[in-house]
Structure 1
Amino acid sequence: MYSSLLMVQVPKDHVREAFVEAAGAAFAELGYPGTSMAVVARRAGSSIGNLYKYFPSKDALFQAVVPPELVAELERLTRARMRALGAATDVRELDASARYHTLAGELLDYCFERRAAVVIVLSRAEGTPYASFAESFVQKLVRWALDYADAAYPHLAAAVDLRWVLQKVYSGFISSLADALRRYPDEPQARAAIALLTAHHQGGLKHLFQTAGDSPHEREPSHTETPSVPDPAPSPRAGSARPSAAGAGATGSRARQPDRGGRTRRRR
């Protein structure tokens, strides 16, 4: 995969970049503990002695692959994209020039430009300073999603069980995103897979937000909110929902039962 590196033939910067590229691929595939300097040198088509001329340790090599500013920028772009939704409930109704679409494109481009590093911090960070990043990122995504839901679904109550479900949803999405980036070397294929994954994810979120207010919840304790909880807004008819900022999905209607007079009444 990597051409042989000869110091007399390849400029120094190119040699260094080849080592960084080989290390990124190895860290993303094998993890930090499973990657040795010898593995990186072999993948780069060079010698371990030559590798040590550029990087005195595996830790120094890792920092070149995953610079400290990467995770901060990943979080910033993600947060900006979610904020750009505002209270929109159907992403198809946003103008093509809407800031949301611009930021979504920037975020995806950033992930592809730094594909190996993103895979590492999201799914292969064991043994590194970013070992807890994915879990922390999920918690932030949950908080940002609830901020969005406050505006887009005002009937929604931030219940303990809803937060737990969102944690599971975002944990699965982050893991699947990293897997798609790792599984498909061809960028168009990877983008297509991520588009399908995102559509599925957003559809599930919309259905969740639209129906969460219809079920009894144990309200999450808060020191600032008032004890009373607004009555949830009635849910739309089944099949009436459209793909939205939160995703595409149909909402369910409550079951109806005949009363004693034979008329149909709604189950509470």
Structure 2
Amino acid sequence: MVNREEIDLRKVYIETKNTLSDFVEAPDFEAQQIVRQVFDVSYSEILTGVKRMACPEQIKRIRDIVTRRCEHYPLQYLLGEWDFFGRPFLVGEGVLIPRADTEVLVEEALRFLEPLSAPKVLDLCSGSGCIGLTVALERPDAQVTAVEKSPAAFCYLTQNNERLGAKAECLLGDALALEAVKGPFDLIVSNPPYLTGQDMAELQVEVRFEPAEALYGDEDGLYFYRELTKIYVQRLRPGGMLAYEIGEGQQNAVSELLAAASLKSICQIPDYNGIIRCITGKNCDFVEDYGLSAV
């Protein structure tokens, strides 16, 4: 018989928060996330001090998570999943952690697709699938293809596809040398590696646990934008859109690459902090007015 002990969720939350306070920027938030998942409870149950019977495995798990988090191991990897666009995506070592900034790219993709019927969408450098699978789930009529090179990340992509019921086509392969993807596509999206050599040298400790191949975009951070644009602009339908997530300060360089590839109405879209995070371009002269700034 498993020995259980009664715990006060609020007390456990406070102890967890206090332990984390010297090691993380948002101990309140992280403590809530940890307690919520380990004990499968709501935020309100935590904050009102509801009592729960806990088994030894749960007590051990929360201690192990807190210990590793104090060593700056990513919280998302410790929990094994992270929310993106309101859905839990499985994550772990070998795959880039979904970030809220990327939701801007998804929102722009969905806005573009809104008037289209049964659109074809290609997600390059898909990672966990947070972009392509979210599009597939928000637009069940879309035919979404997600491409990922890393076998480790591809494992998470396929698991998330099945777990969330996205029904996307998942392809293991190098986006820069993938002949199987012909197109044409209404929309091509990508959050490629875009950190510079200097960025890589200055990474936060937590980010160093994420795969370098999903982060590093050559010394200037622009390698994948140059190469992907050359290949995939030819696979857009008339009126189709190419959309990238970019790093801070890269908007002009990436916009110039899209313009050089004859894409039109190039737009720069800010994230929730006002940083230009998304660049889009279309392969035709006619562009609907979305109220965005065009370059």
Q: TM (normalized to structure 1)?
A: 0.26
Q: In proportion to residue count, which structure has more strand?
A: 2
Give 1 or 2 for the bigger CA radius of gyration.
1
Q: In proportion to residue count, which structure has more helix?
A: 1
User: Relative contact order: is structure 1 or structure 2 higher (C-alpha 8 Å, sep ≥ 6)?
Assistant: 1
